[in-house]
Amino acid sequence: MNHFLKKILLLSLWMISSYGAVSQTSPPYSPKVLIPYNLNGAWGYADTFGTVIYKPQYDSVGFFEVWHNSHALVKRHGKTGIVDNNYDLVVKCTYDYLKGTNCCPKEDINFFSVGNGKKWGVYASSGKKVIPIKYDDIDFNFLVFGLIAVSKNKKYAMFTLDGKRITDFKFNLFAPGIFAGGGVMDLLAEADDGNYLIKSDKTVVPAPEQPNSISVDLSDPNSRDTKKLPEDKRQIYLKRSNELKAQHMLDTVFLERPLNRAGFKGDYQYVLVEKDGKKGVWDLKKNTVKFNDYEDILTIRTYNKQIAQKYGFSELWYGKKNGKWGIATEAGGTHIPFEYDGFGEITDSFAETKANGKSGAVLLFTHYAPIPCKYDSIDFLQQIEVTNQWAFGVYKVTYLGYTGYVGENGVEFFKFN
């Protein structure tokens, strides 16, 4: 593989997602924002208020496509099909394997790969068979180019969205690229006999030797293990912490419990410290130590100026007082009452709460009340776009041995006798 193709391949997912996001327009509000509803093990759909819209009758149902809210996968008797948001079964439940995608260049089209366990094909959301079930793999990553990659005998060909094959089965991989100094994005394709461009008019031409590509490090800084540091960086922090302990006569600096890390470099911003049984915070940027009345601190989440101006805080401290956990602002004001036994998963806008062995959630930046701690487990699942300014959060819960969903408004999308 050519060196430049290796570099540009790294950009594939980033550029496709960015390009695709620009090409999409947010749909207007639709009353057909539907949530899977579980009635004693049978699945249908309800609106965001929990009113059952489509009678539960399937073994399982999926969410409608995030961008289009138009189609979903359903399963009956172990076979999978597709319903639209009128609950019409546009693809009957006759397939063993069926996977959907919501990355489409047209808002009225979704595509689904359909399989029999050995071979794959493609259906459109209308129920039309686009590509017959006889290929080894289907790759939807290039829908924003109006193309579907299909493999046979370990080589790929490109098909148009109406199922027309426009290349031979000769390619190993693909990556988007900008060429000849222009702003048009073509698709770069590697074959054993050289590199090609699949242009916007669907013609295939030899690729220039020196494409204009962008070099980007796509490593995810937030995926690193927060309990482990490179040895050189660990030694730097260790030296600074020893100096700090001597300066402030601290008992402990909890280097393995960073309360906050910088988003991209992963550097420590706040670290928990202790003196005479009291917990405090070491601000590494200012190299200061601040003690407070918390018995313990789990994490500190930081926010931008816009959040500070709108909500009156730039930091949220997850702390413990009088044996209970809650959330306070950097100024010490209570944001979420100190009434929980602990926290589970925490994001910038969601925190799993624990009480009496059960789980609930607090949802930040919303007027909704906390979700009570009554479930065996709760996990943030996804946001369903309602308008271009609002997406409805949905949480997956387990309760009484069943699985169901709870909305950000606290509505339960299930009923178990």
Q: How many domains does the chain have?
A: 2
Domain contains 101? no
* Residue 271 and residue 227 in one domain: yes
* Residue 146 and residue 214 in one domain: yes
Domain contains 368? no
> In the structure encoding, which two tokens stand for residue 407, read together?
């909305």
Residue ending a domain, among 164, 196, 218, is 218
Query: What span, in angstroms and rounded, lies between the C-alpha atoms of 351 and 269?
Result: 21
Note whether 360 and 370 are within 8 A (CB): yes
* Residue 213 and residue 233 in one domain: no
210: three-class secondary structure by DSSP: coil
264 pLDDT above the threshold of 70 = no
Identify the CA nearest to 167 among candidates 122, 194, 130, 202: 202
> Tokens 């009353």 — which residue?
31
Average pLDDT over residues 169-181: 72
Handedness of CA 155, 199, 68, 26 (dihedral sign): positive
* Residue 144 and residue 214 in one domain: yes
Pairing of strands 147-152, 155-160: antiparallel
Domain contains 61? no
Domain contains 374? no
List, for residues 268-299, the tens digit of each pLDDT value: 889 999 998 889 899 988 889 988 889 999 99
Query: What span, in angstroms and rounded, lies between the C-alpha atoms of 164 and 131?
Result: 8
* Residue 279 and residue 154 in one domain: no
- What's the distance, Cα to Cα, between the start and end of the chain in Å? 60
Domain contains 259? yes
Average pLDDT over residues 218-245: 66
Domain contains 144? yes
Identify the CA nearest to 371 among candidates 401, 345, 334: 345
DSSP labels, 181-206 = T-S-EEEEEEETTEEEEE-TTS-EEE
Which value, in Å, is the radius of gyration of the alpha carbons in the chain? 26
Q: Lowest-confidence range among 42-56, 88-102, 323-337? A: 88-102
pLDDT greater at residue 144 or residue 312: 312
List, for residues 362-398, the tens digit of each pLDDT value: 999 888 999 999 999 999 888 887 777 778 889 999 9
**What's the CA dihedral at 30, 32, 37, 39 to 10 degrees?**
140
* Residue 210 and residue 263 in one domain: no
Q: What is the pLDDT of residue 104?
A: 55
Note whether 57 and 42 are within 8 A (CB): yes
* Residue 196 and residue 227 in one domain: no
Residue numbers of the domain that contains 264: 223-291
Q: What is the pLDDT of residue 31?
A: 52
263: number of Cβ within 10 Å: 11
Which regions of 102-184 does DSSP assign to beta strands (E)?
A: 111-115, 120-124, 129-135, 137-139, 147-152, 155-160, 171-178
Domain contains 308? no
pTM for the predicted model, two decimal places: 0.70
Query: What span, in angstroms and rounded, lies between the C-alpha atoms of 211 and 213?
Result: 6
Q: Lowest-confidence range among 157-161, 339-343, 384-388? A: 384-388
- Residue 268 φ then ψ, to 5°: -70, 140
Mean pLDDT, all residues of the chain? 81
Domain contains 45? no
* Residue 19 and residue 162 in one domain: yes
* Residue 148 and residue 195 in one domain: yes
Residue ending a domain, among 236, 269, 291, is 291
Residue ending a domain, among 270, 291, 312, is 291
Query: What span, in angstroms and rounded, lies between the C-alpha atoms of 216 and 189?
Result: 20
Which regions of 199-293 does DSSP assign to beta strands (E)?
A: 204-206, 252-261, 268-275, 278-283, 288-291
* CA separation, residue 359 to residues 63, 95, 170, 353, 376 (Å): 23, 37, 52, 6, 6
Identify the CA nearest to 140 among candidates 150, 131, 155: 150
Query: What span, in angstroms and rounded, lies between the C-alpha atoms of 245 and 275?
Result: 9
List, for residues 92-144, the tens digit of each pLDDT value: 898 888 877 655 555 556 788 888 888 999 988 777 899 999 999 999 888 87
232: three-class secondary structure by DSSP: helix
Q: What is the pLDDT of residue 234?
A: 78
* Residue 212 and residue 227 in one domain: no
Q: What is the pLDDT of residue 229?
A: 63
Query: What span, in angstroms and rounded, lies between the C-alpha atoms of 238 and 380?
Result: 36
